[in-house]
Amino acid sequence: MAAGSADTPKLTIAMITHGVPGNAFWDVVQKGAEAAAAKDNVELRYTSDPQAPNQANLVQSAIDSKVDGIAVTLAKPDAMKPAVAAAEAAGIPVVGLNSGLSTYKEMGVQQYFGQDEDIAGQSAGERLAQDGAKKVLCVVHEQGNVSLEARCAGIAQKMPGAVVESFYVNSQDMPSVEALLTAKLQQDPTFDTIATLDSSIGHVAVQSKAATGVDAKIVTFGIDAETVKEIRNGDVVWANDQQPFLQGYLAVDSLWLYLNNGNTIGGGEAVLTGPAFIDESNIDAVADYAAAGTR
């Protein structure tokens, strides 16, 4: 047993996400999961695939290997339902994280850790409306992801007099993201705001804005060390922080608590990890953590 870890039987927990490998956001989720696993004497098996059928197959592989618990994202819930049902039929507890808030209960998922994407989008829309935004390009980096669609819909809901246009790109091909976004801004330079739904796409938006010279403010969801620099120098106005480290940590820790003591967290409701806004007024409070890769 590792020094400082829990004096409880060794457990094996699989975390299966829809994250793109190497994406800064999902690296932070994984770090949170690893921190909880080290504390709880857990063998963590982290895997991911942005393609829903492949993610479902990873869940089935975890079931076949007889893990003790499964933590899973539900960005495309219809594709994940059979795999989740198979885990439950095998007697393996399942918790959700990050995406799938509106569907996790009906799927039988035991607990959920993440932000309410409807609320997150509406909060962003309220702030943009207060800032006087009139025409927003909402950049969706994974088509069909219910969480991302909810963010753009929430923004539009709180900006009834504004134009909010969803623009689809593929975050698995970042060079194409920059090419498409640059071309879009060249085609229509009248957007006063670019809202990206992941910090890595926010970095691309900064580059595309510079390349085209458009007069648009950039806001984003997610924060990393580069975002800290962008907020400090004014390239990004604010970032929505849903605390991905906490999502990964709580997902693993909750399974350990359930398997060792029958505990559940949240009283039957989701445990919300966001939204919160990070801007120039409070960036110093999280900058060191972002530099360390935990925010």
Per-residue pLDDT tens over the stretch 211-252: 999 999 999 999 999 999 999 999 999 999 999 999 999 999
- Same domain for 52 and 194? no
Q: What does the pLDDT average to over 253-272?
A: 97
- Same domain for 96 and 126? no
- Same domain for 70 and 145? no
**281 domain residue, yes or no:** no
- Same domain for 138 and 182? yes
Distance, in Å, from the CA atom of 61 to the CA atom of 109, rounded to the nearest integer, reads: 18
- Same domain for 43 and 141? no
- Same domain for 108 and 133? no
**144 domain residue, yes or no:** yes
Q: What is the value of pTM for the model shown?
A: 0.93
Q: Which among 91, 77, 5, 80 has a CA at the least distance from the CA of 43?
A: 5
Q: What does the pLDDT average to over 54-64?
A: 98
Residues 6 or more apart in contact with residue 108 via CB below 8 angstroms: 84, 85, 88, 94
Nearest 5 degrees, angle CA 117-CA 98-CA 227? Answer: 80
- Same domain for 95 and 18? yes
The domain containing residue 96 runs over which residues?
Answer: 11-115+243-264
- Same domain for 54 and 64? yes
- Same domain for 94 and 138? no
Q: What does the pLDDT average to over 131-154?
A: 96
Q: What does the pLDDT average to over 7-18?
A: 96
For residue 141, give both structure tokens.
């980096």
Average pLDDT, the chain: 96
Nearest 5 degrees, angle CA 81-CA 107-CA 72? Answer: 65
* Confidence grade of residue 5 (pLDDT, cut at 50, 70, 90): confident
> At residue 178, what are phi and psi to the nearest 5 degrees?
-65, -40
164, β-bridge pairs: 136
Q: Kindly provide the residue ranges of all beta strands, DSSP E only, lying in the chain, ordered along the sequence.
A: 11-17, 42-48, 69-72, 94-97, 111-114, 135-140, 163-168, 193-196, 217-221, 238-241, 271-272, 276-279
Q: Which among 287, 171, 295 has a CA at the least distance from the CA of 232?
A: 287
* Whether residue 1 has pLDDT greater than 50: no
**221 domain residue, yes or no:** yes
**258 domain residue, yes or no:** yes
Can you give the CATH number for the domain in which 85 is found? 3.40.50.2300
- Same domain for 75 and 171? no
Distance of CA 20 to the CA centre of its chain: 11
Q: What local confidence, expressed as pLDDT, does residue 4 receive? A: 65
Q: Give the tens place of pLDDT for each residue, 164-218.
A: 999 999 999 999 999 999 999 999 999 999 999 999 999 999 999 999 999 999 9
**27 domain residue, yes or no:** yes
**111 domain residue, yes or no:** yes
Q: What is the largest CA-CA distance in the chain?
A: 61
Which SS3 state, helix, strand or coil, does residue 140 take? strand
Q: What local confidence, expressed as pLDDT, does residue 251 receive? A: 98
**291 domain residue, yes or no:** no
- Same domain for 142 and 232? yes
**273 domain residue, yes or no:** no
Q: Give the tens place of pLDDT for each residue, 116-136.
A: 999 999 999 999 999 999 999
Q: What does the pLDDT average to over 275-284?
A: 97
Share of the chain above pLDDT 70, in %: 99
Question: What total number of domains does the chain contain?
Answer: 2
Q: How many residues would you count in the chain?
A: 295
Count H helices and E strands in the chain, helices first: 10, 12
Q: What local confidence, expressed as pLDDT, does residue 6 receive? A: 86
- Same domain for 130 and 218? yes
* Whether residue 96 has pLDDT greater than 90: yes
Distance, in Å, from the CA atom of 62 to the CA atom of 56, rounded to the nearest integer, reads: 10
